[in-house]
Each structure stands twice: as C-alpha cells, then as structure tokens.
C-alpha cells in the first residue's frame, strides 16, 4: 500500500479486490487509436481488428459507445474516465487495469520504465520482457491519453485515482 503525502490517498496493491497480477497482459492496442478506428468504422465493432476489439471490451465501452462517437475529443476523454470510475474493476480487462498497475508501481516503487520492469519481474506478474513492455506501453499510454498519468507513469490526476480506489 502507498499513501501519497500531499493527498492522503491510499493506493492498495489491488483495485477494490481486482488483482494486479492476473489478466493484466494486454494486446498492444491503445485506447486513443481504438477510439479513432471505432469512429472510422461508424461504431461497427465487428469491423475492428482483433486487438482493437480486445481494447474495446477491456474498457466495456458498449454502454457508452454512441455517446463516445458523438462527443468531441475532450468530451470523449472525460466520458471514458467517468465510465472507468463507474465500472466495477473486476469487470475491466487488462488494457484498462494496466493504467492502475503502472500508477501503483510508479508511486510505490519509483517512476519510469526501468523501475516498472523491476516491479513486474520482482512481483512475478510476468517473466517475459515482451509482456512487461505491453503492460507498460498500454498502461502508460492510455493513462497519458486520459490525462491521469505523466510520461514517467507517475500520477498527475490524484482525484481520479482517489475515486477509482474508493469506488462510488
């Protein structure tokens, strides 16, 4: 567990019971590109590539798809963030949970890719460098796109994480 001194937010080593060690290895498809491709195919999920379908499913976007497609880029980001906060973490797939995993590792063990890899290997999340790279790339990339992580994986939106950890 980690408490940020400036905001007194507790980052547990799970997300409301959702393990950070199981089902966390994504296919390398980032949220931003998947949303662009979803728009290009007029919301027809069946026309997405398999890796984009997995990202779509990981975020459980079916319930907000129409609203997301009609939103501006900024509105879409806020919509997805609010949707993530309202979704039970046990229902979220690897692409989404990797944001929390990157943040947890950065705030608990140190920011940056090298520290993240050390955390992943030391905690036996995976033994494979390619898998660790996929987790880092998707978690950090999606977190930066949503405006909740910095480029080094550290948290820039503590309010988002406080709501995510506490739920409701």
pLDDT in tens, 136-146: 999 999 999 99
User: pTM (2 decimals)?
Assistant: 0.90
Label residue 8 by pLDDT band (50, 70, 90). low
| pLDDT tens per residue across span 25-35 | 877 889 999 99
Give the separation between CA 120 and CA 117, rounded to whole angstroms.
5
| Contact call for residues 99 and 87 (beta carbons, < 8 A) | no
**Closest to 84 (Cα-Cα) out of 145, 135, 137:** 145
Mean predicted lDDT score pLDDT of the chain: 92
What are the boundaries of each domain within the chain? 23-166
The residue with greater pLDDT, 38 or 24, is 38
| pLDDT tens per residue across span 144-163 | 999 999 999 999 999 999 99
| Contact call for residues 69 and 75 (beta carbons, < 8 A) | no
């Amino acid at each position: 567990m980690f408490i940020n001194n400036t905001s007194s937010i507790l980052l547990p080593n799970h997300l409301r019971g959702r393990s950070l060690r199981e089902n966390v290895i994504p296919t390398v498809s980032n949220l931003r590109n998947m949303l662009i491709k979803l728009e290009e195919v007029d919301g027809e999920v069946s026309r997405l590539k398999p890796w984009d379908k997995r990202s779509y499913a990981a975020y459980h976007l079916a319930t907000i798809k129409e609203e997301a497609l009609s939103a501006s880029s900024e509105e879409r980001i806020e919509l997805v963030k609010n949707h993530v906060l309202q979704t039970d973490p046990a229902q979220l797939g690897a692409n989404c949970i990797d944001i929390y995993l990157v943040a947890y590792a950065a705030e608990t063990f140190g920011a940056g890719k090298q520290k993240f890899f050390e955390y992943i290997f030391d905690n036996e999340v995976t033994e494979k460098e390619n898998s660790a790279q996929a987790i880092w790339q998707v978690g950090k990339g999606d977190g930066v796109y949503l405006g909740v992580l910095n480029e080094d994986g550290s948290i820039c939106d503590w309010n988002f994480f406080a709501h995510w950890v506490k739920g409701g």
